Chain A
Amino acid sequence: MVRVLMLLLPGLIPSWKFFKTIEPSPRVQWRLSSGPDHTENTWQEFRPRPERVSGAEIVKRLFWNPDWNEALFLVSLAERLTLHATPRSAQEILRRIKNELLSGQLSDHSVNYLQFRLVFLHREGEEIVEEVTYLSQFFDMSEEAA
């Protein structure tokens, strides 16, 4: 209860320092393998943003934007996981990737071991640099599907 009240305090006494600096920005990437020792598949970005969004879609998203808001939550989770590697943030990210894989929204693969990683993008001089900050263990998807 004390922890929840501590989480409430920044809401009641906010700092409002939006975008004070542009911090490194996370991407969640995943891959499936046939086993923990086989990492033959390449990393894929989870929920990549579309190339374009139409005007009608933008208007719709003013009222109905669950996927994007979940993507913003994933950004928060990735930042929390990098700052303090808590199992809870990792589980939240994993659960969302698993759900999409099991519901067939992602590519169909015959391999069962899921792994995800966090890649942070930041600028060094004029270059955009990627840095892997977290690599999960392998999770057996067949146990979930059973």
Chain B
Amino acid sequence: MTFHVALRVTEILLALAFIQQSVEHLRRPTDSQLIFLLRIACSLAVFFGLQTTWGLCGLCIISLAMLHRFDGPYNGGSDRMSLLVLWCLFLAQILPSGPLQEAALGYLAIQLVLSYFVSGWVKLVNPEWRTGRALRDVFAFSAYPVSESLRVLANRPTLTRVMSWAVMIFEVLFPISLVSQPVLIVALCVGAVFHLANACLFGLNRFLWIWLAAYPSILWFQSHLGELLS
């Protein structure tokens, strides 16, 4: 994937993710609806490629207004990835073409790798994750399961241990997928399924769309890395 294709696809996916998030906020009378109407307008500009730089600039300003309004991120990790993708894209637009632009998108790709690796590593070094106890606790009493019926999974120790190890192995080994494009594509498909499962079991739909938006950056980064190494 070329740099410009990766940049454009990321812009489109980010715009779609932001529209989805913002439309949800319009339903809440307690949220500042003007902020989200403006966010939709800027996202549409980015989606259609109309004044993309100004659209991204507007989204960056709105991201600060949202941090002020909610006194931090609204949805923890998914908002953090949203900020990262947005600011990297904005920098890639305004920086002079060449290595600086590539550094901005490359930073996003490296952070995507770290998002899996660090998350997997902190679980792997925790005995409660290795035994499956931590995932049993997630199902037993955390606020995440979308229905009470899912809490019975807390009583399935073998299943939760297998699920825990599957997640840890995928996350920790993810950086190895950079060795080749086909391996990376398989890893990204597994990642997408992982986020889909989180969306279904724990209602984390925003994670799914915003992590997918970061995927083109790593597809470009992997091919660029290959060129640099050869």
Contacts and interface: CB of A to CB of B under 8 A. Distances in A.
A62 B205 contact: yes
A69 B114 CA distance: 25
B203 interface: yes
Contacts of A145: none
A89 B80 contact: no
B68 A4 contact: yes
A63 B208 CA distance: 10
Interface string B186-228: 0000000000100110010110100000000000000000000
A61 B147 contact: no
A8 interface: yes
Nearest to B24: A66
Nearest to B112: A16
A136 to B, nearest CB: 17
Interface string A1-37: 0011101101110111111111001110000000000
B34 interface: no
Contacts of A43: none
A109 interface: no
A14 B147 contact: no
Contacts of A61: 146, 199, 203, 205
B64 A4 contact: yes
Contacts of B70: 73
Interface stretch (B2-10, B37-45, B81-89): B81-89
Interface residues of A, number: 52
A45 to B, nearest CB: 11
Nearest to B149: A52
A75 B149 CA distance: 20
Contacts of B76: 72, 76
B142 A25 contact: yes
Contacts of A92: 30, 71
Interface stretch (B51-59, B93-101, B132-140, B176-184): B132-140
A22 B142 contact: yes
Contact of A89 (B23, B71, B148): B71
B114 A20 contact: no
A99 B123 CA distance: 39
A133 interface: no
Given A65-B24, A96-B30, A7 B147 contact: no
B72 interface: yes
A53 B25 CA distance: 22
A38 to B, nearest CB: 28
Interface string B103-132: 000000001001100110011001010000
B140 A49 contact: no
B128 A21 contact: yes
Contacts of B142: 22, 25
Given A16-B118, A61-B146, 5 more contacts: A50-B147, A62-B199, A66-B24, A66-B27, A99-B29
Minimum-distance CB pairs A-B, first 5: A11-B83, A66-B24, A68-B203, A16-B118, A22-B137
Interface of B: 20, 23-25, 27-30, 63-64, 67-68, 70-77, 79-84, 87, 111, 114-115, 118-119, 122-123, 126, 128, 134, 137-138, 140-143, 145-149, 196, 199-200, 203, 205-206, 208
Interface of A: 3-5, 7-8, 10-12, 14-22, 25-27, 49-53, 58, 61-66, 68-73, 75-76, 80, 86, 88-89, 92, 95-96, 99, 121-123, 128
